[in-house]
Amino acid sequence: MPVITRSVIVNAPVEVTFEVSNRIDKWPEMIPEYLRSEILRREGRKIWFRLTNADGASWVSWRMLYPPHLAYAERHDPVAPFAYNHLTWIYQALPGNRSQMTWDMCFELSDDLRDQEEGWRERMAEHTAANQEALRKYIESLVEGA
């Protein structure tokens, strides 16, 4: 089972980092990889949403929010090309009104793609780094502009 773990330091308080990074409907403004984001429904802490990426691929995921320290998500439909794809975002307050945002992604490809997992892991790690950097810049621009 491939696991990707990556952290980024954000020059913003943990509450701000959590709140802004979980504005799923605004992800296309924050993360260039996403062309469209649509909130489908909310069930308490659980948010169902559809993402469409730059390649035109679309899928439904759900996300559970535990402010200000944890968000957990799973890809739901279609799950393919994965057998499963689970993401945990952990937020930690740091001195100086900064925060650390750590993403843990655990996934497994479907049986017919299992031999490609290492390549997928490398590409997904690159996307994770780019997405975290884009979020960091977006959040910091809001804090600086306030």
Give backbone dihedrals phi and psi of 32, rounded to 5 degrees, phi first.
-60, -25
pLDDT at residue 123 in the model? 92
Looking at the chain, the number of H-run helices and the number of E-run strands are 3, 7
41-97 pLDDT per residue, tens:
999 999 999 999 999 999 999 999 999 999 999 999 999 999 999 999 999 999 999
> Between residues 27 and 145, which one has the greater pLDDT?
27
Q: Is the pLDDT of residue 28 over 90?
A: yes
Q: Is the pLDDT of residue 145 over 90?
A: no
Q: Is the pLDDT of residue 2 over 90?
A: no
pTM of the model: 0.94
Give backbone dihedrals phi and psi of 13, rounded to 5 degrees, phi first.
-60, 155
84-143 pLDDT per residue, tens:
999 999 999 999 999 999 999 999 999 999 999 999 999 999 999 999 999 999 999 999
What per-residue string of b and e applies to 58-86 under the rule 16 or more CB within 10 Å gives b?
ebebbbebeebeebbbebeeebeebeebb
